[in-house]
């Protein structure tokens, strides 16, 4: 049991080790913003301290009493001002170091104030040091450490409190004027202390607060990690899946974690004469060209619920029905055909822009086939890739290649044509032999007449 408690505590305090470097840098920046906010909030606390001191003026009967209150508050504001200037102007680790110095000064001011009031009002009974309500002021520096999401500041403030409080308690025990007993009435209203309660209760309460604050920081950091992981996953998935599919996959990650066989519609697209077109281009211009081409093609694919499987140079491979097939038979094939038409429309619009700039026209070929494939995450532990493999993929690629031989820009297999309801407006290309295949198949091209 003790070992499990230690592991739990260690998991809380070591959560920062799970942050990647870029997130650690962002967290450091947020810590500095938190430190600035905490210093500004110290001025609010200072105003409250001044109000408390003024409210207790009637209890002050000597010049030393005024000095204790108002000199201590002056030092508090001075420390706050110095801390603020260091955070605003200093660089490097000095900012972090002064956080501890500031906490130490705060706790020291509280300790000195309590001891001075004991000298003035304690009437020689050191129990005053333990029973004074001023002990509650140790909560202030402890609470300020919450703003920076740093466990070390919480712990440091708690240690400062323990040294001060047990220092008072030991001082009271060794003083012969201290009176101890077991009478709760005298403990609460009189001058006695119950040693067992005084040595345990307040430190335990503070310890619970330390754990509560530490756990609040831990929960915040863990949520930050989860949000960052989810956003990173969504960003990665959004490159390959349409927004609706991304939401589905993020909510049910097991959808792509397991491989399975299912019916999928595959779309292949390729730029005609790309090698000759790209050879005279410099690398930067080629990069800009491919980025714009891919952006337009992917936009058309996502518009019709498609998923980007991969880019292969100037080629685009998209799938419809991944990771989950549509419930209605033929809907994935319909989406693929609509996406292909949108791709051609996007290309026409882009070509008009290119021609107006004196640039050459771009032509593509698109092939679509549907059938059973294996889809899932494959690869090594270092690099996993969600993709589809099978004869359907190869056939779709070869149908796209047949566009060049048949002099058309768009071909679908007979299986796709049948799934979409055998629509009119398509020219049948009978008994086409695909590259690398002996069996001939029927293909369909849109009738442009």
Q: How far apart are CA 238 and CA 245, in angstroms?
A: 9
Strand partners, 445: 427
C-alpha dihedral over 409, 415, 418, 419, to 10 degrees? -100
Query: pLDDT at position 283, please?
Result: 87
All domains of the chain in start order, with CATH: 1-236 (no CATH), 251-446 (3.30.70.1230)
Question: Mean pLDDT across the stretch 89-97?
Answer: 71
- Which of residues 25 and 151 earns the better pLDDT score? 151
Residue 76 makes CB contacts below 8 A (sequence gap 6+) with 42, 46, 49, 106, 109
The pLDDT tens digits for 282-323 are 888 889 899 999 999 989 998 998 888 888 888 999 999 888
Separation of first and last alpha carbons in the chain: 80
- Which of residues 419 and 240 earns the better pLDDT score? 419
Residue 327: phi and psi, rounded to 5, are: -70, -35
Question: Mean pLDDT across the stretch 245-272?
Answer: 73
Is the per-residue pLDDT at 8 higher than 70?
Answer: no
Is the per-residue pLDDT at 274 higher than 90?
Answer: no
The pLDDT tens digits for 240-252 are 555 555 555 555 5
- Which of residues 185 and 164 earns the better pLDDT score? 164
Q: How far apart are CA 402 and CA 296, in angstroms?
A: 23
Q: Is the pTM of this model over 0.75?
A: no
Query: pLDDT at position 348, please?
Result: 93
The pLDDT tens digits for 349-360 are 999 999 998 888
Percent of the chain with pLDDT over 70: 81
Contact (CB, 8 A) for 444 and 435: no
Mean pLDDT, the chain, integer: 81
Q: Which of 190-194, 364-368, 442-446 has the lowest mean pLDDT?
A: 190-194
Query: pLDDT at position 261, please?
Result: 86
Query: pLDDT at position 340, please?
Result: 94
C-beta neighbour count of 271 within 10 angstroms: 21
Q: How far apart are CA 435 and CA 374, in angstroms?
A: 22
C-beta neighbour count of 423 within 10 angstroms: 11
Question: Mean pLDDT across the stretch 377-399?
Answer: 76
Is the per-residue pLDDT at 152 higher than 90?
Answer: no
Q: Given the DSSP bridges, would you call strands 441-446 and 260-271 parallel, antiparallel or unpaired?
A: unpaired
């Amino acid at each position: 049991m003790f070992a499990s408690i230690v592991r739990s505590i260690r998991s809380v305090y070591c959560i920062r080790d799970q942050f990647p470097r870029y997130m650690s840098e962002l967290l450091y920046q947020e810590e500095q913003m938190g430190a600035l906010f905490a210093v500004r909030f110290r001025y609010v606390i200072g105003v409250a301290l001044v109000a408390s001191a003024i409210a207790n003026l009637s209890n002050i009967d000597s010049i030393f009493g005024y000095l204790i209150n108002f000199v201590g508050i002056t030092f508090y504001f001075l420390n706050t001002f110095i801390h603020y200037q260091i955070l605003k102007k200093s660089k490097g680790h000095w900012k972090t170091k002064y956080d501890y110095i500031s906490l130490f000064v705060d706790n020291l001011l509280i300790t000195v104030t309590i001891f001075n009031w004991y000298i003035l009002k304690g009437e020689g009974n050191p129990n005053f040091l333990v029973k004074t309500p001023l002990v509650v002021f140790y909560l202030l520096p402890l609470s300020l450490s919450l703003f920076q999401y740093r466990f070390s500041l919480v712990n440091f403030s708690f240690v400062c409190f323990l040294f001060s409080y047990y220092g008072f308690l030991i001082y009271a025990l060794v003083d012969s004027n201290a009176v101890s007993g077991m009478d709760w009435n005298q403990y609460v209203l009189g001058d006695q202390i119950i040693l067992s309660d005084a040595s345990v209760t307040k430190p335990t309460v503070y310890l619970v607060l330390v754990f509560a604050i530490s756990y609040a920081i831990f929960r915040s950091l863990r949520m930050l990690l989860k949000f960052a992981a989810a956003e990173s996953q969504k960003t990665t998935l959004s490159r390959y899946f349409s927004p609706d599919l991304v939401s589905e996959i993020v909510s049910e990650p097991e959808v792509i974690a397991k491989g399975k066989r299912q019916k999928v519609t595959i779309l292949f697209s390729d730029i005609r004469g790309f090698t000759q077109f790209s050879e005279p281009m410099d690398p930067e211009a080629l990069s800009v060209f491919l980025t714009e081409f891919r952006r337009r093609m992917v936009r058309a694919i996502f518009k019709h619920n498609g998923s980007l499987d991969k880019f292969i140079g100037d080629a685009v491979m998209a799938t419809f029905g991944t990771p989950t097939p549509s419930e209605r038979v033929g809907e994935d094939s319909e989406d693929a055909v609509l996406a292909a038409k949108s791709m051609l429309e996007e290309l026409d619009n882009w070509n008009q822009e290119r021609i107006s700039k004196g640039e050459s026209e771009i032509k593509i070929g698109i092939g679509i086939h549907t059938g059973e494939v294996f889809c899932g995450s494959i690869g090594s532990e270092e690099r996993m890739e969600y993709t589809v493999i099978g004869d359907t993929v190869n056939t779709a690629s070869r149908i796209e290649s047949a566009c060049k031989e048949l002099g058309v820009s768009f071909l679908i297999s007979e299986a796709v044509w049948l799934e979409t309801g055998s629509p009119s407006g398509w020219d049948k290309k009978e008994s086409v032999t695909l590259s690398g295949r002996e069996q001939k198949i029927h293909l369909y091209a849109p009738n442009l007449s």
